[in-house]
């Protein structure tokens, strides 16, 4: 049964210098009938900033700025600020993003009161070299997926450190804030390859080296989802901010399939417990949707649908996603039908 309707592309690259290579992977904030898109804008040379567009209703573009609203300022962001997500807690917007210096990727966030000016709160993911990470995670070898150790021990140390100069850190990305605190703390998804973990904190000052040493040494207890199905044979990662429903947290995430000589990025869905999101209540055993259209199958990176935000109009959940790392497209699904499917699985 096909649950999803695809509505096509709503944003493409322009001749503006900051977005002449591609626009994709938008953060989404709905306020009534208005949908704000803060999208990844890439210029020639693969430098990323964040652009802005406003929709009235789920699909109609009524405004688009000709300059970025958020751009690189720190050394860790030298190559760009990438793949934003946004949530609102009380009266504050939390814009999370990947900081990329050309070699390393860290998870960071900024806050805003008006979606116009943003105050950086810094990097909140660990800064460990591959050797340091491998040493910390080694006690988890028999407790978590072997993928964690194979990726860092074999691929990263063997390949990356021979191709690149400089200090190479473990990549941690797909930082996504929950739209409310859980047990009085910020709750944040992040991704240490190949699974999705959850992080809790009161203040980012708590996230010290000692904190992360303890966290990674006990990584298993922080894992929310691990790759499980064929369409997740490479890895998974956070997608859209969690949606609170009466049944649990509805989460649209991305799953990546190893397919002969290339990867295929799918959109997937899971239902998590409201009080403890590590408890899975239902999970689709097939993708919610996959690359089938030409704009999803051919682009800067082929065969990619990468969900990053949602908006709900009546019972129709609109999912905004990056297509082939080239444009912004939209799909929709009846939220009640999706929740029924998740309950059944």
Q: What is the pLDDT of residues 181-204, one digit of tens each?
A: 999 999 999 999 999 999 999 999
User: Residue 144: which pLDDT band, with cuts at 50, 70 and 90?
Assistant: low
The residue with greater pLDDT, 245 or 136, is: 245
In this predicted structure, the answer to whether residue 147 has a pLDDT above a threshold of 70 is no
Q: What is the pLDDT of residues 119-130, one digit of tens each?
A: 999 999 999 988
In this predicted structure, the answer to whether residue 149 has a pLDDT above a threshold of 70 is no
Pick the closest to residue 25 from 43, 11, 8 (CA basis).
Answer: 11
pLDDT at 89: 97
Q: Is 28 exposed, middle or buried (0-12, 13-18, 19+ CB in 10 A)?
A: buried
CA-to-CA separations, 231 to 100, 102, 227, 288, in angstroms, rounded: 27, 29, 9, 11
* Residue 130 zone, left/alpha/beta (φ > 0; ψ -120 to 50; rest): alpha
End-to-end CA, the chain: 14
Q: Is 49 exposed, middle or buried (0-12, 13-18, 19+ CB in 10 A)?
A: buried
The CB density around residue 284, as the number of other CB atoms within 10 Å, is 20
Q: Find the mean pLDDT for residues 277-290.
A: 98
Q: Find the mean pLDDT for residues 219-230.
A: 95
The string over 180-215, giving b where at least 16 C-beta atoms fall within 10 Å of a residue's C-beta and e elsewhere, is eeeeeebbbbbbbbbbbbbbeeeeeeebeeeebeeb
User: Residue 143: which pLDDT band, with cuts at 50, 70 and 90?
Assistant: low
pLDDT at 135: 85
pLDDT at 133: 87
Rounded CA separation 54/213 (Å): 42
- Global confidence as pTM: 0.95
Q: Is 110 exposed, middle or buried (0-12, 13-18, 19+ CB in 10 A)?
A: buried
Q: What is the pLDDT of residues 27-57, one digit of tens each?
A: 999 999 999 999 999 999 999 999 999 999 9
pLDDT at 243: 98
């Amino acid at each position: 049964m096909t649950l999803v309707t695809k509505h096509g592309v709503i944003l493409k690259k322009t001749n503006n210098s900051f977005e002449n290579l591609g626009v994709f992977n938008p953060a989404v904030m709905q306020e009534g009938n208005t949908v704000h898109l803060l999208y990844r804008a890439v210029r020639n040379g693969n430098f990323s900033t964040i652009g802005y567009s406003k929709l009235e209703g789920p699909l109609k573009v009524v405004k688009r700025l000709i300059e970025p609203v958020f751009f690189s300022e720190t050394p860790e962001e030298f190559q760009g600020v990438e793949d934003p997500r946004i949530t609102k807690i009380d009266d504050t917007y939390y814009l999370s993003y990947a900081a990329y210096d050309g070699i390393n990727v860290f998870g960071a966030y900024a806050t805003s009161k008006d979606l116009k000016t943003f105050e950086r709160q810094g990097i909140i993911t660990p800064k460990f070299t591959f050797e340091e990470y491998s040493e910390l995670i080694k006690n988890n070898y028999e407790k978590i997926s072997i993928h964690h150790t194979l990726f860092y021990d074999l691929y990263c140390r063997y390949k990356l450190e021979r191709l690149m100069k400089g200090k190479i850190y473990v990549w941690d990305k797909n930082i996504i804030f929950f739209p409310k605190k859980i047990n009085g703390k910020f709750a944040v998804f992040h991704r240490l390859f190949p699974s999705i973990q959850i992080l809790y904190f009161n203040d980012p000052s708590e996230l010290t080296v000692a904190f992360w040493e303890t966290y990674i040494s006990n990584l298993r207890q922080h894992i929310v989802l691990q790759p499980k199905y064929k369409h997740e044979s490479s890895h998974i990662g956070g997608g859209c901010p969690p949606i609170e429903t009466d049944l649990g947290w509805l989460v649209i995430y991305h799953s990546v399939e190893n397919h002969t000589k290339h990867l295929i990025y799918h959109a997937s869905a899971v239902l998590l417990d409201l009080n403890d999101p590590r408890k899975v209540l239902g999970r689709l055993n097939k993708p919610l949707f996959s690359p089938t259209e030409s704009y999803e199958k051919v682009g800067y990176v082929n065969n990619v649908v990468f969900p990053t935000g949602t908006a709900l109009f009546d019972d129709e959940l609109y999912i905004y996603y990056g297509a082939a790392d080239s444009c912004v497209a939209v799909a929709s699904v009846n939220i009640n039908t999706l929740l029924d499917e998740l309950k059944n699985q």
